[in-house]
């Protein structure tokens, strides 16, 4: 009985080229996802804050005011984090980033792009994506906290 042939992974430059291109597309897609989610959550927090603003000036029990104020602060903090997600960052990066290209001459750009910079771009985009996801994660945690506090405020107003 013959032994099956040993399958050896293909680590040729073609395989690496494909993987680098695919990784760049994945990271770019993740950044787009964070921006979309953040925009949706910004609209949500803005609507909730606008609704809560309509309640100002009404007499409310002290416990409702306390929980409501804490909820508003949590929503405001979440909004700040969400704004940081969608805020463009134009500093940093090396020759592989477009902010650096804006400061270069055409000849310098040609020289800088002479080699394969995909791995460097993937690294920078990954750092951006991780930072955006951390802000997004913290913002969602704050929104959930705010909703719990606002629920407690509503219960206090009913009692």
Averaged pLDDT for residues 11-35: 86
**pLDDT at site 136:** 97
In the block, residue with structure tokens 């993987």: 19
**pLDDT at site 18:** 86
Averaged pLDDT for residues 18-29: 90
CA distance 63 to 140: 24
**pLDDT at site 99:** 83
Ramachandran category for residue 92: left, alpha or beta (phi over 0 → left; psi -120 to 50 → alpha)? left
Share of the chain above pLDDT 70, in %: 91
By the 10 Å C-beta count (0-12 exposed, 13-18 middle, 19+ buried), 13 is classed as exposed
Predicted structure pTM score: 0.79
Confidence label for 4 from pLDDT (cuts 50, 70 and 90)? low
Confidence label for 100 from pLDDT (cuts 50, 70 and 90)? confident
The model's pLDDT over 49-80, given as tens digits with 9 standing for 90+, comes to: 999 888 888 888 999 999 999 999 999 999 99
Averaged pLDDT for residues 41-56: 91
Q: Is the pLDDT of residue 139 over 70?
A: yes
CA distance 67 to 74: 11
**pLDDT at site 92:** 64
Tokens in use for 84?
Answer: 């940081």
The secondary structure of residue 2, as a DSSP letter, is: P
Residue spans of the domains in the chain: they are 35-158
Q: Is the pLDDT of residue 8 over 50?
A: no
């Amino acid at each position: 009985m013959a032994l099956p042939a040993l399958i050896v992974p293909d680590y040729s430059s073609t395989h690496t080229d494909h993987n680098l291109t695919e990784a760049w597309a994945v990271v770019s897609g993740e950044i787009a996802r964070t921006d979309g989610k953040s925009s949706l959550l910004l609209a949500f927090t803005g609507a909730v804050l606008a609704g809560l603003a309509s309640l100002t000036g009404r007499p409310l029990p002290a416990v409702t005011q306390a929980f409501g104020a804490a909820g508003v602060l949590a929503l405001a903090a979440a909004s700040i984090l969400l704004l940081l997600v969608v805020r463009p960052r134009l500093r940093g990066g090396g020759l592989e980033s477009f902010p650096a290209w804006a400061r270069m001459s055409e000849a310098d750009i040609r020289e800088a792009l002479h080699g394969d910079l995909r791995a460097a771009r993937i690294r920078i985009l990954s750092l951006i994506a991780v930072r955006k996801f951390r802000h997004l994660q913290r913002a969602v945690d704050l929104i959930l906290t705010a909703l719990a506090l606002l629920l407690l405020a509503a219960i206090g107003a009913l009692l």
